[in-house]
Amino acid sequence: MPHETALIGTIALGLTFALFLGLAARAARLPTIVGYLAAGVAIGPYTPGFVGDLAAAGQLAELGVILLMFGVGLHFSPRELADARGVAVPGALIQMGTATILGWGLGRLMGWDDIPALVFGFSLSVASTVVLLRALQERGELETKHGHVAVGWLVVEDLAMVLALVLIPIVAALTQDRAPTGLLAGGADGIWLTILVTVGKVAVFIAIMLVLGARFLPVALSWVGRLRSRELFSLAALVTALGIAYIAYILFGVSFALGAFLAGLVLGQSTLSQKAAEQTLPLRDAFAVLFFVAVGMLFDPTILWREPLAVLATVLVVLFGKTIAAYAIARLRGLDHGASLSIGAALAQVGEFSFILAGLAVAEGLLSGEGRDLILAASILTIALNPLMFRLADRLGPRS
């Protein structure tokens, strides 16, 4: 296919396959997500026929994450996020630590060294933003207390991932007896200085958004709203989401998702925030579907019969290891039984940041291709099974 039509072909066929396979999944009483993932496999490089542009699909998926996190931020306030920190911060850190240890243990059982096993475990510890938020929205739980906790949990995971992406090249260089590149100074001091600068840049960006952004962005949106032009208002909302996400990534090293969430958070203080959410909703839905299609395109189905036991063990770590850890932490921090089960079910999957981390680790020689394939297989299967985890949570305890 000529390069100039690859993007159009990927979008057109991706959405077409997603529509028909989504309808088939619904007819079979399966979650529509299963159909969207199958659509990605159908146009991916591991199945015959049309092969979509994987790079373009990945960027389209990133747009979906940006718009979804922007929409979630519009419905939050800084106070609600601060109120959730008592559960979200320790919960996310302990749950990620538990999943990392379980993944490390599984990697060691498969004969891997400590570093690849730790990278494998950490990749399994991070949940998908799109899956979690869509599930909570469909269940009407995003505005509940445990919905706020889950979003705060995502923010903490996102911050941890920013630090992990900085550390991967450094660890790779040190374990391969070569000088790390990109350090601000030599030796161990340079490593710590690089980490401190990274954390400092994230903190500066958050402070700018919560102080200056909260003062000027709502005023700017209200000014555009007074012009009574639907097109200009929609454009202003999209520019805010995409522009701040891009600036956050380029200037401060913050992920697109976190930048978009903070943009929505401060813009939510405007009286027109509900209108902004409504105007961006169609794009959020379309790009969310493309996210699942892009994930499906990455999946090599042959891993299911090449390494069935390894796939099963990886899936069990995600479905039950993460769920039990999240449930226990939420209960210890004072949430009731039903809310804790919902949080556990929401986190019982692997998402987009895991692919980024695994891809970087493979490029740096810290993780094998087999490890990356196991992470992708676990992601596909756990995303498809996530609605069933919520049904199980509903049976085990009433929702609050």
Res 390 pLDDT > 50: yes
| pLDDT for 400 beyond 50 | no
pLDDT at 316 over 90: yes
Q: How far apart are CA 149 and CA 389, in angstroms?
A: 18
Assigned token pair, 67: 């718009």
Give the residue among 380, 304, 305, 350 at the shortest CA–CA distance from 103: 350
In which band, very low, low, confident or very high, does the pLDDT at 57 lie, cut at 50, 70 and 90?
confident
Interval 54-63 mean pLDDT: 82
Domain 3-396 coded CATH 1.20.1530.20: yes
How many helices and strands, by DSSP H and E, does the chain display? 19, 0
pLDDT given at position 186: 58
pLDDT for 187 equals 59
Query: Which residue shows structure tokens 């450094």?
Result: 170
pTM of the model: 0.79
Residue ranges covered by each domain of the chain? 3-396
Give just the sign of the alpha carbon dihedral 77, 79, 84, 90. positive
Task: State the Cα–Cα distance between residues 229 and 133, nearest whole angstrom.
Answer: 30
